[in-house]
Structure 1
Amino acid sequence: MPLDPALNSLGFAKAPAETRVVVAMSGGVDSSVVAAMLKEEGYDVVGVTLQLYDHGAALARKGACCAGRDIHDARRVAERMGFPHYVLDYESVFREAVIEEFADSYLGGATPVPCIRCNERVKFRDLMEVARDLGADCMATGHYIRRETGPHGAELHRAADPSRDQSYFLFSTTREQLDYLRFPLGGFASKAETRALAAQHGLPVADKPDSQDICFVPSGNYAAVIEKLRPGAAEPGEIVHLDGRVLGRHDGVLRYTVGQRRGLGIGGLEEPLFVIRLDAERRQVIVGPREALLTRSIRLREVNWLGDGPLDGEREILARVRSTREPVPALLRPAGPDAEVELLSPEEGVAPGQACVFYATEGTRVLGGGWIAGTVRAAG
């Protein structure tokens, strides 16, 4: 929908100089460019960075987010562009709202997505309250997703660049939050456009690499982080075939994920085997052939609906079950406060703890999503 000429670029009927916007600055190139763009347009920009975990230990880390080096970089961008910048200590909040659940989920046999919880419980809840306290008209982030005004209010849409789209990680954004949020990079054609703007503004982060892995998990070693948080929790158990055969031993279910093939420690078998599910209560890793990974039906909890009208009947949607997968045709059915999704073509490696995100069958609109609580295999 074209922008009303009576409104500024953020959708307010007043001059940019009279519009205060808080920019959530992670210290990376994306949020830095958002802040620089808005400052250049004349907005009253205030940058805020959250310190989410140990400042000192993170200084030497590459690929970290919201820690030592990133805080320093965000401050340098603010100084360069001439707007105020604040750092808020959210270590305890982040640990309680994100890290603790991450550890417990893995120990429970699930495969969590802490980046979604961080957006939901910290950035789009607590930080938004800070923005309101600062008198901001809205809060802007560097996420690659679009907010558009539809006939019934603000809508969430996939980014113009499919390779950068972050809608999977933002499915739990509420309608109230969406009214207040802005995503200036969602319409960009590519990341190259973002970096070009960073260079044009002379930002010190123009060539900074994108963050990798989960911010508080060095080198993707989830098990090491969980063992530090829950000493002695990685109990050994059996590796069991779907047919009941015990094939070997493991050092803790937290070291395995649904769909994993390599590193199972059960070599010498004729058929390739994959992790089909994790039974934390019995301390078992259940393995089987690849076809056993196919999932037809998914049970969801904590469903967030962003579509028009109530979710009160079966709907055709496109469903995305992993951030790296393309959405596929599915049927969405409400089940009390929860929901069920039937995949019209079975998908591999659908794991409890991940998210299932809903999209409209036509266009780019995000309709919401939920957390995967359980699955029904396509065969047997």
Structure 2
Amino acid sequence: MKDIVIIANFCRDFSENDNGRFMYLCKELSKEHNVEIITSDYSHSLKKHKGPVSISWPFKITFLHEPGYKKNVSVRRFMSHRAWGNAVAKYLKKRKKPDVIYCAVPSLTAPMKASEYCKKNNIKFIIDIQDLWPEAFQMVFDIPIVSNLLFTPFKRIANKIYSSADEICAVSKTYVERALGVNKNVTKGHTVFLGTRLETFDKGAAMKSKVEKVDNELWLGYCGSLAASYDIPCVIDALSVLQNKGIQVPRFIVMGDGAKRREFSSYAVEKSVNATFTGRLTYDQMCAVLSKCDLVVNPIKKGSAASIINKHGDYASSGLPVINNQDSPEYRELVDSYHMGLNCENGNAFDMADKIQYLLENAEERKIMGINARKCAEEQFDRKNSYKELLECILN
């Protein structure tokens, strides 16, 4: 029996409906091993401190205090993560030495402190890269020269974390290759998409949707954050282009919340596009609404550090064709190789409009692509199968 510590800054609520990556790993590993997850008491998505966990799980949950922040890109956020990372370092020193530490990246301070602790105490250190920092922030705060000067120290920290890992896991091949580029000891990483458990998705999809669908109405779905890096205006523009051509366009169902929600909603009104903004939904309700859509859209602005992300797994699980303008080569290749949707030029509303029109006018093609999308979910995104690689990596 191993003593396993998982460190993850951005966890969900550990409720019965928690569908997070680290929740899944904790539940599976705790069947035969001692598991403790160290996480923050601050919710990044809700921007408030978390309440107590109401369910008794077979693993230990340790909340360490984080001051918190209101804006995703701010000095206060970096200070908050730094404080939490220092709290993690302090906690590890007083805790019994584990056999292995499995650490999510980002944030950065906690993984850096954990890597130093593991090296000093000869403990296996495994990283699981969820996003690329500081690259993700540089996209938002992109000022020539200034950005490079500002984020260079963070890049050094990231490189130190990557280079010190005994094993490298990540949610995309792109992220694995980034870390392998500075790690001289690891020859092969583990690419395991965030994914979902198809049984969980299907259970939610079978529920009654809170958003009612009119007979013969088509829906174009989006789920996820409503932040600066998500190009919802491009989708609205594309639908507006089709309307101006006299084409009956699908109702745009936008599931999620974020700093840009009001701005995006107002833009849809300005363009006279029929859009429904549901706000944040529980995972099962998101599945229920998504399953009622006819096609989905993945609009991410040019230069984003994002590669394979949460919504990709949910889109594939829904068995719907995807309209994709994200310029990540990894996801574009996945869409093409499975023939589960259409890629379009990033930021080009006219090209997106053409692709939407094609799928609107070709119901049989939508059906074929949807079947292929579900096949992709079964082969690439179902945690029941794909997460075996992570579990073996931790226990090897």
Q: TM-score, normalised by structure 2?
A: 0.31
Q: Which has the higher contact order (CA 8 A, sep 6+)?
A: 1
Q: TM-score, normalised by structure 1?
A: 0.32
Instruction: Flag the structure with higher helix content.
Output: 2
